Homo-oligomer: A and B are copies of this chain.
Amino acid sequence: MTLAILVNGHAPADLGHAIAANDRGLHYGDGVFETALLIDGQVRFLDDHLKRLRESCERLSIRPPDPATLAAEITRVTGALHSGVLKIIITRGAGTRGYRPAHDVEATRIVALYAAPESPSSSGITLRWCDTRLGRNARLAGVKHLNRLEQVLAQAEWQDASIDDGLMLDTEGELVCATAGNVFIVREGALATPDLRFCGVRGIMRTRVLRAAAQLRIPASEEPLWPHDVEIADEVFLTNAIRGIRQVVALGSLQWSHGPVVERLKAAMEL
């Protein structure tokens, strides 16, 4: 449910008629986005999200929004609310027909607040392997852009409500991420997560976990991982800015119970 939305600073009179017919976000997925958690009236990791949004814009040569304007709009949509999901979309703007971006176009800013998600289960989550693969393209790797058909098709693969998310491989069979989050494994007390050199999103919570691991002196690496690495892992968990850290307890015929490293990270990060 959309609780509040501003499009270029204006609250649309009608949510069904809010976006320009020629917006490049609609025509080409030509834009980037962020989703952040509003909790206790504060946007968690807001500075991290705004920094990544700027970097994403730079990667695609989209003019980043004015920081003060964007900050004011975030304050307006979160208002007096205590919890929810903040979504910011920046598209390259409205334009004429054709792929070529014009240089004099103002980016489109969409700042929206949605209802808070259900609280995550503390007992751990169940995953599946997705059939849909991720194409490799280093030019777009790491960026939270609006070309998300692969994730849509992956989530469409299952309807079973007992499955919380699916792990995705790239077209060469390398492990990349979950459909809506990054993935970590624990092996002999050390963390590892896919290096995302070809695809996937460099998640805010992923970066926070790597930082927390360094502070806790837990060895951690970003490296190429394969399904076999998951199969022999001592612990597996997903990260995402909204749901935090979620321990995986089942994946096909695999099962995991106690996750001491996951628990240490969650405690240290107060998640």
Contacts and interface: CB of A to CB of B under 8 A. Distances in A.
B28 A151 contact: yes
A27 B89 contact: yes
A14 interface: yes
A147 interface: yes
Interface stretch (A40-48, A75-83, A96-104, A226-234): A96-104
Interface residues of A, number: 67
Contacts of A149: 28-30, 60, 140, 145-147
A136 B139 contact: no
Contact of A148 (B5, B15, B28, B89): B28
Interface string A9-25: 00011111111111111
A28 B145 CA distance: 9
A12 B17 contact: yes
A152 to B, nearest CB: 5
A7 B21 contact: yes
A101 to B, nearest CB: 5
A158 to B, nearest CB: 9
B114 A137 contact: no
A3 to B, nearest CB: 11
A234 to B, nearest CB: 29
Contact of A133 (B23, B87, B112, B137): B137
A179 interface: yes
Interface in A168-184: 171, 179-180
23 contacts: A1-B96, A2-B21, A15-B20, A18-B19, A19-B21, A21-B110, A26-B146, A27-B33, A28-B148, A28-B149, A29-B149, A35-B97, A98-B155, A98-B180, A99-B148, A99-B154, A101-B156, A136-B171, A137-B150, A137-B171, A139-B153, A140-B149, A140-B150
- The 5 closest A-B CB pairs, nearest first, are A29-B29, A135-B135, A135-B137, A147-B147, A28-B148
